[in-house]
Chain A
Amino acid sequence: MGFLKRIAAAAGIVMAGALPSAAQTLTVWHDLGDNGLKWFEAMSAEFAKQRPGVTVKSLSYPTDQWFGRVISALNTDSAPDLIYNNYERVIRIQDQTGKVSDLKPLLGKVSDKAFLSEDDLKVATYKDRQIIIPIQRVQMGFGVRKSWLDKVGEKFPETWEDAKRVAGKFRDNDPDGNGKADTFGFALEAAKPRDLIHILDLFSFGTGLRHTLIDPAGKITVDEPRHAAVLEEFLKTYTSYKFVAPDTINHSFTEMYQVIEGGRGGMFRVGDWNVKKWDGEKVLNGDFIVGKWPKFAADEKNYVVIGGMRGIAIPENAPNKALAQDFAQFMLTKAAQQASLDNVGAAVRGDLDVATLSPRSQYFAKAEAPLIAYDFPEAVHPFYPELEAAFHKKLLSGIANPPADWKPFIAETAKEMRELAAKLKAK
C-alpha cells in the first residue's frame, strides 16, 4: 500500500510539472486595425517568454465605436484589462467615466525610461493623473506624389508659395496623365468636428507656430498676425483657390483617404502609421515623398509635427489589474517597442533597428527632421473641447459661405472665441 502511495505521489509530481501554469488572457481594446492586431500578437508572443501561459488578445474597433464601447464597459464594470489610444481620447474616457487608473506609481517602477521626454510625460498627464504610459509618438509629415512632381517639373515644396504653385499645377496639368481634369492640389477634410482643426493645426505647427487657438495662459491667438496669415491661406485653400475636391466640405477621414489612395490628391498629410499601407503595391506603391510642412514666411522654419501620443491605459475596474500593469511596463521594453515600430511605424524608444523599414518609414523612425509638438490644450484647459467645437463651427460656416474678405471674418472669430473662453472659464 505504501509503495502504491509513493507511485501515485511521484506520478502526481510528474503530471503537475508537465501541465502548463494556469493560463491567463489579457484583453486590450484599440483602434489600430490590422497593423495593431499584428503588433499585439507579436507582443503577446514576446510577453509569454517572461510570463508563460499569458496570452494578450487585442480587439480593434473603429474609433467611433471604440469610444462608445470603452465608456459603457468602464461604467458597467465590464472593462477590458487595458485600453490603447491617443491621449486626448483617453482624456475623454476619463471625463466620462472617472475610471482610468493613475499610472504615476507604475511608471515610477520602470527603470529603463530615459527615452521619455518631459513633454511626453506632460501629454500623458491630465488633472494630475498620469492616464497613459506613452508608447508611440504620433508624427505627421507633409506628403507629395513623387511622380506628379516629376511630371509638372517641380521639387518638394518648402514654402507655402511653392505649395500653392505646385497645387495649381497638380490641378491643371493632368499630373496622372489620364487625360481628365480629375486631380487636385490637396487632399483635405472638413466634414466633422476636429477634422478642420486637425488640418489647421498641422499647417500652423508645421510652420513653427506654437498654438492654433489658445495659448497656455488662456489668450486667444487666432487673430495674431502670423496666425491670421496661416488661417486666411488655409480658408482660401478650401474656397477661392479651388485646390481641393469640391466635395471636401463633406469629406471626413474616410473620404480624404479615398482621394489620396485613389490617386486624385497630390499633397496630403502623412502619419507615421499611414506609411506601411501606402507603400503597398496596390495603394500608392511608395510613390510619395514625406517631408516637413511648408513654411508660411521666409523667417520661419519648417517642421514635422508630433501630433499626439498614443499610450496604454488601465481601467480601475480591469479584471486582471496586476497582470495588466506588468504588460503595460513591458510595452516600453526594446522588444515590444521594436514590434511597435515594425507593425505600426511608431515608437518612443530611439535605440531600435530601422534598417528594414522603407525610406518613408525611416524618415519618421529616425526623426531626422526638426520636430514640433502639438500644444495639447486639452491637458491645460478643461473647457478646450467646447471652445474648439465652436471654433470649428465658425470656420466651417465661413467655408460654406465664403466672405469676400477673410480679414474681418478672422477678427470676428477671434472676438467670439474670447467671449466664449471667458464664459467657459467662469463656469
Chain B
Amino acid sequence: MTTTLETVWHNRIFYLFVLPFAALTILFGVWPIVLSIMVSFTASATALRPNPTYVGFANYAAIFADPAFLASLLRTFLYTAAAVVVNVGFAFGMAVLIDSPLLRRGGLLLRLALFLPVVTPDVAGYVVWRWLYDRSFGAINALLDTVGLPAFAGLTTGPTAMISLLIAELWHHAGFYMLIFHANLAIRDRALEEAAHVDGATAWQRWRYVILPQLKPAFIINTVYALIQFLKTFTVVVVMTKGGPNEATNFVSYYAYQLFDQGRYGEATAMASVLFLIVIGVSLTIYRLGDREAAR
C-alpha cells in the first residue's frame, strides 16, 4: 500500500496531467453506458423522472418474451456473420491485389477508390444506394434491363433486401479493413519468404505457412471491429429500409430505436444492454482466443 502511494506520489505530475482526460472519459464514455443500463431496470413511464420506479428484470423478461425481439436478434446474428465474412474476405483479397508487384502503377488509384467510401458520409452514400436499387428508376435495374437480364428485387423482398444492405455496407466499410490488411502486409518480414523460397517452398506454401500467420493481427483486429460494427447495424437500415420489407431487416439496434421512439425507454435500453453485452462478450472472446494462439 505504502509502495503504491509512493509510486503515485513519485509520478504525481504525470497523474495530474492524465486526470482531466480520465475524468472526461468516465464522464462521457462510461457514465452514459451506466445510465443506460440503469434505465433498463426502470418502468418506461418513470424512466426519465428524478425518482424512477425500479422494476427489476421486468423489461428484460418482456423483451425475451417478445417473439419480434428474438426474431430480430437471430436476424442480427445472421446478417453479422454474413457481413463479417464478406467484408473481411473482400478486404483481404483487395489488400493482396494491391500488394501485388503486378499492380504497382494502378495500386494508388485502386486504394483511393476503395478508401473513398470510408470517408464519405454514410447517410449520403446509403441514399445513393437506395436510388440505385429503386425498382422504378434505379440504375441497377436499368443496367440489367439493357443487357436483357431479369430485374433485381432490391429492397422490396426480404432476402434481396438483406443482400442489398450487405452490398451497400461492403462498399462503405471494406476500404477500412483493406487498409489494415495492407498495412500488415507492408510490415511483414520479407526475409522469411525469401528463406522459404530458398528452402524450396512453393508460392502457395509461402502464402499458407509464412505470410498468412504474419497477418493474424490484421485478421483479429478486422474481425473484432467488423463484429462490433455489424452487430450494431443501424444507419443503413434507417436510410434504406426502415426495418422492412415486412420486418426483414429489423435488426436489434433499429428495433430498440423504434421502441425508444415510442417512449418505451425501459425495453429499448434493455435491448441495447443485451446487445452491449453480446458485443463485449464476442469481442473479448476473440481477443482471448487470439492471445492464446499467439502464446502457443
Contact = CB atoms under 8 A, between A and B. Distances in A.
Contacts of A97: 45
Given A182-B137, A247-B134, A247-B155, A396 B47 contact: no
Interface stretch (A68-76, A153-161, A342-350, A376-384): A68-76
B245 A400 contact: yes
Interface of B: 44-50, 134-137, 154-158, 240-242, 244-248, 260-263
Contact of A250 (B46, B137, B241, B263): B241
A72 B246 contact: no
A245 B263 contact: no
B157 A96 contact: no
Nearest to A184: B136
Contacts of B45: 75, 95-98
Nearest to B49: A75
A76 B49 contact: yes
Contacts of B246: 249, 393, 396-397, 399-401
A330 to B, nearest CB: 30
A332 B215 CA distance: 73
Nearest to A248: B156
A155 B24 CA distance: 68
Given A96-B44, A182-B136, A396-B246, A250 B156 contact: yes
B244 A250 contact: yes
Interface string A398-415: 011100000000000000
A68 B49 contact: no
10 contacts: A67-B262, A75-B47, A76-B49, A77-B50, A92-B262, A246-B136, A247-B136, A250-B244, A252-B242, A396-B245
A396 B248 CA distance: 11
A125 to B, nearest CB: 21
Interface residues of A, number: 30
Nearest to B137: A182
Contact of B244 (A64, A67, A77, A191): A191
B154 to A, nearest CB: 8
B137 A96 contact: no
Contacts of A264: 136
Nearest to A259: B136
A68 B136 contact: no
B261 A64 contact: yes
Nearest to A68: B261
A249 B136 contact: no
A76 B47 CA distance: 9
Q: Is the interface of B mostly helix, strand, loop or mixed?
A: loop
Contacts of A72: 48
A51 B159 CA distance: 61
Contacts of B46: 75
A68 B263 contact: yes
Given A75-B47, A245-B135, 13 more contacts: A68-B263, A182-B137, A184-B136, A192-B242, A246-B136, A246-B156, A247-B155, A247-B156, A250-B156, A264-B136, A396-B244, A399-B246, A400-B245
Contacts of B136: 182, 184, 245-247, 264
Nearest to A192: B242
Contact of B260 (A68, A98, A192, A247): A68
Interface in A200-250: 245-247, 249-250
Contact of B263 (A71, A247, A393): A71
A177 B262 CA distance: 44
A191 B161 CA distance: 13
B231 to A, nearest CB: 23
Nearest to A73: B48
A393 B243 CA distance: 12
A249 B244 contact: yes
Contacts of B262: 67, 92
A96 B263 contact: yes
Contacts of B263: 67-68, 71, 92, 96
A400 B48 contact: no
A77 B246 CA distance: 38
A248 to B, nearest CB: 8
Nearest to A400: B246
Contact of B245 (A75, A182, A184, A250): A250
B106 to A, nearest CB: 37
A250 B239 CA distance: 11
Nearest to B44: A96
Nearest to B257: A64
B141 to A, nearest CB: 9
Contacts of B155: 247, 250
B135 A246 contact: yes
A83 to B, nearest CB: 14
Contacts of A182: 136-137
Interface string A245-268: 111011010000000000010000
A80 B46 CA distance: 18
A249 B248 CA distance: 11
A184 B45 CA distance: 44
Interface in A51-90: 64, 67-68, 71-72, 75-77
A98 B44 CA distance: 12
